[in-house]
Chain A
Amino acid sequence: EIVLTQSPATLSLSPGERATLSCRASQSVSSYLAWYQQKPGQAPRLLIYDASNRATGIPARFSGSGSGTDFTLTISSLEPEDFAVYYCQHRSNWPWTFGQGTKVDIK
């Protein structure tokens, strides 16, 4: 099973600041990596698929990069609605797994 490790566990930032979230895979997942946003009481929302492609309707301030084992989700300028938990997920081989999450909270 491929283990995805996200860092940091918590990121405390102010609105307007840039957020950089990391996801590292225990072995290569090529570009088969997604990022999700989850708010309390809601299902996850797909932000980025195949490492760098924004899902339909996702604002341009969200961007993804990386391949192989190291991936980054960047939020260029945090809006109030962006404070949430973010998960990465691979689908390189079964079982598909998620990282443990990074919480972006208000400083």
Chain B
Amino acid sequence: QVQLQESGPGLVKPSETLSLTCTVSGGSVNSGTYFWSWIRQPPGKGLEYIGYISYTGSTNDNPSLKSRVTISVDTSKNQYSLKLSSVTAADTAVYYCARVTWGVPGAGMPKDWGQGILVTVSS
């Protein structure tokens, strides 16, 4: 049973870079069947895909975030990370990491999620 756990600062100042890490246990970030994604949810609002990284290291990020996103993977620590630059109050949200299958039924529809971490952007 895979488990995912987000970690990072809960408070980031405007214009700075938000940095989060997702630690994966019970599974390998090197697995060819999975993509490793980030999804966020502003307080009281809906869900938004931020992006994902594949086991090959290829990434895809949401164009709405205007190239502010960097997603990377650290296979030695079995972790992957999110950096979101030039944050504003609009980036205040619960950030989830989630494992996404690919190439099988249910591809792109995450079953395994972290518990989420609230990140507030404020001075």
Interface residues of A (CB under 8 A from B): 1, 32, 34, 42-44, 46, 49-50, 53, 55-56, 87, 89, 91, 94-101
Residues of A within 8 A of B49 (CB): 95-98
Are A98 and B46 in contact (CB-based, < 8 A)?
yes
Size bracket of the B interface: 20 to 34
Are A43 and B113 in contact (CB-based, < 8 A)?
yes
Q: Which residue of A lies closest to B100 (CB)?
A: A91
Alpha-carbon separation in the docked complex, A32 to B102 (Å): 12
8 Å CB interface, B18-74 against A? 46-49, 60, 62-64
24 contacts between A and B (CB under 8 A): A34-B106, A34-B109, A43-B96, A43-B114, A44-B47, A46-B109, A46-B111, A49-B109, A49-B111, A53-B105, A55-B111, A87-B46, A87-B47, A91-B108, A91-B109, A94-B60, A95-B63, A95-B64, A96-B49, A96-B108, A97-B48, A98-B46, A98-B47, A98-B49
Q: How many A-B residue pairs have CB under 8 A?
A: 54
Residues of B within 8 A of A96 (CB): 49, 108
